[in-house]
């Protein structure tokens, strides 16, 4: 505990970018949740843009607004 999942459009992140992302997120989670680095896990979950509305937006964003700590502000 805690576990962070980032759902995103497919993007080929180089190992160094993944490491920087993991390090930065881990540091924030450790500080804010008062836990230790070994307790944090992080997953990257690519989602095809055509599947975004059905797989992510409807069930996880629009369907659970009370859980959001930041809502999207999509550009049109």
Residues carrying an active site annotation: 2
Half-sphere CA count of 62, side-chain side, radius 13 A: 9
Euclidean distance between CA atoms 49 and 38, whole angstroms: 33
C-alpha distances (whole Å) from 44 to each of 18, 28, 36, 70, 75 are 9, 17, 21, 18, 23
């Amino acid at each position: 505990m805690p576990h962070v999942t980032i759902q995103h459009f497919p993007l080929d992140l180089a190992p160094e970018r993944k490491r920087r992302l993991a390090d930065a997120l881990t540091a924030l989670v450790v500080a804010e949740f008062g836990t230790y680095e070994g307790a944090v896990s992080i997953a990257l979950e690519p989602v095809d843009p055509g599947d975004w509305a059905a797989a992510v937006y409807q069930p996880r964003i629009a369907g659970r607004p009370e859980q959001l700590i930041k809502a999207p502000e999509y550009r049109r």
